[in-house]
Amino acid sequence: MVFSKYGKIDGLNKKVSRLLYGTANTPMLAGEDIDEVLDAALACGVQTFDTARGYGKAENVLGRWMKKRGCRDDVVVLSKCGDVKNGIVKVNREVIRTEMAQSLEALQTDYIDIFLLHRDDPCTPVSEVIDTLNEAKKEGKITIFGVSNWTHQRIIEANRYAEETGLCGFSVSSPHFGLAEQICDMWGGGCVTITGDDNEDAREWYRENQMPVLAYSGLARGFMAGKVKSTDEDSENLKNLLDPFAIKGYVSHKNFLRLARCEELAQRKGCSVAQIALGWMFTQGLNLYTAAATTKPERILSNLKALEIDFTQEEIAYLSEV
């Protein structure tokens, strides 16, 4: 099955590119303008931009670019509030309202298309979250809303409350998903992955409900991007190829076995490792969108070609059954 470059998410009157441009890259985090890269993304049809209050100065960079190009209504902006601060997650009415206002100012816009809660704060009742987000939606500050790093059980709880009270519930969810398993919570604060044998129930829930999955770290912070080779498993050079979070979260023997199979299949199909890893994600029956952060314009177009790869059932199983 080959995916279209775009999808439609209920409640949003814009198409959403299946490949999101991730703004958590080094220059944007530091506040540096990379207009030519953002221009290239838009020119390629990648018109959905994934940012967050916790991504340094990325919102400011994106906001400046949208203003200069006059393209705000042509793009989909996804931002997030409520991150880990000093090891503590706090996401309540005050945090949502305060950080939403900060995001709107930084982005130089009066609305955010997709607004997510970056973490779950189990101390905050779902009623407080749903009520607050519905107020913001009614005010026109956000169009649709959802969550990142929430379990599907908590999503069910929140959406049940929304249904019972006649309010809008969560429309989208952003967990980690990819060919490489996320083996630990590398940032803290309750990062949620739907990879691995232990999370088959979560994947099945997403398949059955077809809630849009906006997957983060689909290329495992570069582990599946081609710069690491399967022969590097015991190499001292790994620390120069990957950042500490990638090493902590994705370096495992099983993931290196998957990487080796990616390399083999990439050579056979005349593709890159990154294209194989991204393409595999779209074979899993999920209503999938995935973010990729790059500062190389040519890589954006290369990643998009992953949507054109047609896998056999044998190839899909070969990649994942390790």
Q: Rounded CA gap, 26 and 23, in Å?
A: 9
- DSSP letters, 206-260, are HHHH---EEEB-TTGGGTTTTSS-GGGTT-TTHHHHS-HHHHHHH--HHHHHHHH
Measure the N-to-C terminal CA separation of the chain; round to a whole number of Å.
Answer: 22
Which residues are CB-contacts of 285 (< 8 A; sequence separation ≥ 6)?
207
Look at residue 3 in the predicted model and tell me its pLDDT. 56
Helix, coil or strand: residue 302: helix
CB atoms within 10 A of CB 83: 21
CA pseudo-torsion sign 313, 6, 181, 258:
positive
Q: Where are the domains of the chain?
A: 6-222+274-314
Look at residue 92 in the predicted model and tell me its pLDDT. 96
Q: Considering the domain 6-222+274-314 in this protein, what is its CATH number?
A: 3.20.20.100
Environment class of 71 (CB within 10 Å of its CB; exposed 0-12, middle 13-18, buried 19+): middle
Look at residue 2 in the predicted model and tell me its pLDDT. 53
Look at residue 321 in the predicted model and tell me its pLDDT. 84
Look at residue 59 in the predicted model and tell me its pLDDT. 98
- Averages of pLDDT over runs of 10 residues in the chain (322 residues) are 80 97 97 97 96 97 98 98 87 97 98 98 97 98 98 98 98 98 93 96 98 97 95 92 95 97 97 97 97 93 94 95 82
Look at residue 88 in the predicted model and tell me its pLDDT. 86
